[in-house]
Structure formats: C-alpha cells, structure tokens
Amino acid sequence: MDIMDKEKVSVLEESVATAHRPLPDDFRSYLPWACNQLELEYAVFVNKIHQSEHYDMGISDRSKARTRSRARTVRSRADGMSDRTDDMKTGTTQQVNFVDEAINIFAVHDSNGDLVQVIFYKNKHIPRIVIKVIGLIIKFHPQLNTVQFDQGADLYTIYEFEKILPLSNITEVCFDGTFIPDGNYDILLDHELLRNLSLSRCKIEDEIIHNIAVKLVYPKPASKSLAILNLSSNRITNDGAKSLAFALRSNRCLIYLNLSGNKLTDDGAASILDSLQEFCLTPEEILASKTRYCSFYLKRNKLIVKKIKELKESDSDKSSARKKLTRSVPPSVRRKTRTDREVSLHSVHEMLPGNIIGSDSNLFDRAATMVQMAFGVYIDPFSSNNTIVKDEALYCLGNNSLLCLNLAYNDLSYIFVRKLLGILLYQKQADRKPRGLINVSIEGNNLPVACEEYRLIESIIESGIQRNLPINKKRQQSKIISR
C-alpha cells in the first residue's frame, strides 16, 4: 500500500470515527465514549432512567395520610434522593443494569427528556477524569440540578466537582454513605449556589463540622443560599453543635437542620436553641455589623454619584438635540411649539409636589431610585430591625428562620424538653415572620413517655403552622376540625 492509499485509509477511518462520535448533549453515550478516548482504565456504564411524574421529592406519601401529619411533616429533598436510590436497589422504579468493575452512573431524565439528576452508584473509586469530562459538557445540560455520590468519592472528587458548580445549575448535592477521611466537603460552600447539602452517614466529626459552619456564617456566600443541611448519623458531639450554633446566630437562610443519630447531649442541643432566642451580641459581631453597614452605604452612594453624572450627561445631550431641532423649525411654528411645551410643563408641575422638575434634588431622587432598584435595600441579621438595646447592651432578637430541627436519637433528657418549650414560648410571644420552629423531632432520646410540656409544645407548634397557612387553607382546615 503506497503513501496515497494510507492517507485515504486514515481519512476514511477519521470520518467513520467522527460519524460515530456521540454529541455532548447525549450524556449516556458521550461520557463513556469520552472516557474511552482518554484511555481510562475503568469502563464507564451509564443507565438512563426516567423520573416518575408522580414522585414528590419533598414530601413522602406517608405524610399525606392525615391532615395533621401533612402540616407537621417537612422532609428534605436529600431524603427524597435517598429514597430514589433505594428504589433502584430493589428495581421498583424501573429495570436498571449494574456492571461490576465499572463506573456505574444513573442518568435521570424528566418527562421532557432533559437530564435532571446524576447518581454515582456503589462505585469503589470515581476517577478524577470522569468528573472533568462532566465539567466539559455540563453546559449542554442546563436542567441538571441534582448530583448524588453513593460511595467511591474522595477529596479529589470533591475538588473537581467544586469547579463544576459555578458552571452549572446544580443546587442539590448528596454524599450520603460516602466516607472521605479528609472531609473537604466545606469547599462546596464557597459559592452562593447550593440549596441542599446532604452528608448523612459520612462519619463526620467535629473538626469537619467546624469547617462547614464557618462557611455558613453571614455574609459568606453559602449563608445566603443553603436552605437544607442533613448531617444525620455521624459522629458530631457538643463541640460540633456549638460551631453550628454560632453560625445560626447570623445565618438567616438555613431552614432545615438534621442532626439526628449523633452524640449530642442537652448542652450541645441547648446551644443551638440559644441562637433562636434573644442573645447578647459580642463586640466582634457589633463591629462586623457596623462595617457591613458602612460598606453597603459607601457603595450605594458611589453608585448614586455615578448615576447622577450619567443622568446629567444624558439630559445635556437631549437639551443639545432639542436646540438643534428648534433652530431648524420656522419662527411661526417655533412659537407654537414653545407654547405647547409650556402648557405641558404646567400640567407636570401640578402633578408633582414641590415643583422640583429640573432641580438637583430631582436628579438625586432619580438616581437614588434607580440605584435602589438595582442595589436593593440594606439587609443584615444584626440591623436595627433585628436588635434591641437592653441594660446598655445590644441584643439580637434571635434566629427565626430555622423552621425544622431534627435531634432524634441523640442523648437528650427532660432538661432539653423544658428548654425547647421556653424557646417556643419566646418565638410565639415575639410574633415575627417567619415564626420560627414549626417542626422538631426528638424521638429516640431518653425522654419521659408523657408530660405536660409535650402538650404545650404540640399546641404552640400547631398554632404556628396555622398562622403560616394561607387564608383559604386556614378556613378549609377549620371546617375539617369542626366536623
């Protein structure tokens, strides 16, 4: 075979390979193909499954049995992800294949055929190159919002996955049952992206919890986005609970915290509850709050000054254009136009109070309105709306954003029950929006079977739920009870 024939064969082979190359929007075919092209030592096998249309990621079917249970039960989307994995194990959702000695991945598609969830299922090891390839094609899957790792991940997996987050629309990440000795989960919270992070059964200890809690302190990025944090069935003690309690002093985004199945006692659980009621601000917190306040208004005023200059230039350009137009109009028509304009301005004067048209205050008001619409109003957990002065000290009214707290199967006693009742009474009396705790789970602890505090806690929580329901649902609920 001469050189010309070899070149023709090479071109033909290249064209055949290109013809059979899958497109990056075909996740199931492209990922194994790309990993094979990169000579990955492990085969990659992707199962494509369809999302059940009736499957509710937020609330279980069991919670729909009774109206009262439906009002009281709030489950995390991480729990829903775990249920989905259980369905795959039993094959109840649909038929899936599992290949030994391969990287097994489930690609979940919705009814429109869009990829919405990726699950790494029971892998011994997930190579970095697999995550890198996903990062290269992530832009072709804008509907992907959930990723779950079920074993096989390591610190490099998290490191590479963290790079993907800013490029994607992923808001939910689950590492349930995935033990990573280095525990660098906290780097996932370096962005204002995640809404749900589940780290159940990961053998997490206090040092890792401290690193996570630091990322949840306001105004860190994750403190403005993460709403659900599942830390159940780990090795968290009172020290870890205190780190989370410190974050809750300023965090006003987290609404669901699961600490069930850990090693908390009354002391650690009480530290979390203390952040939910009135507490004295430390000098460091006061200084940080004032710094944020000054920084906000400094940026705002700079933008207003810049916007005033832009408005002046714009008005000047319009005035110049108007003069040129006036010169080109005949005198008789010019007098008529001036008269019409005077009438128009006269009507505007009557509509606006203060007769401020064309003045510097008008420019300032216009600029300030435009900046406020773009910049927003000042919001801070320790602003004047959330603090009071008492005994010559500054107190915060407490965290009222945490709605669901799961402390089941720890080492709590009757002391905690009384503490919880006091917190609920305080939040009820404060009558803020949101109200505060509306779901607390304390089963599996060393608690009395029955006591008066239980009845009062049930009553307060029930009233809080009724208060948060829309008016039409309140009326419907009252009709059911009256019957």
**pLDDT tens series, the chain, 483 aa:** 555 545 544 543 454 445 478 999 999 999 999 999 998 888 999 999 998 743 443 333 333 333 333 333 333 334 444 444 444 443 334 455 666 678 999 999 999 999 999 999 999 999 999 999 999 999 999 999 999 999 999 999 999 999 999 999 999 999 999 999 999 999 999 999 999 999 999 999 999 999 999 999 999 999 999 999 999 999 999 999 999 999 999 999 999 999 999 999 999 999 999 999 999 999 999 999 999 999 998 988 888 888 888 887 776 766 666 666 555 545 554 444 444 434 333 433 343 344 333 446 787 788 888 888 877 788 999 999 999 999 899 999 999 999 999 999 999 999 999 999 999 999 999 999 998 999 999 999 999 999 999 999 999 998 878 766 654 544 433 332 222
Beta-carbon contacts of 161 under 8 Å, excluding residues fewer than 6 positions away, are: 131, 147, 173, 188
Decide: 149 and 177 in contact? Cβ < 8 Å: no
Q: pTM of this prediction?
A: 0.79
Residues 148 and 118 sit within 8 Å (Cβ to Cβ): yes
The architecture that CATH gives domain 21-283 is Alpha-Beta Horseshoe (3.80)
Q: Is 95 exposed, middle or buried (0-12, 13-18, 19+ CB in 10 A)?
A: exposed
Give SS3 for 25. Answer: coil
d(CA 426, CA 406): 20
Outline which parts of the chain fall under CATH 3.80.10.10: 21-283
Give the dihedral sign, CA 277/282/284/290.
positive
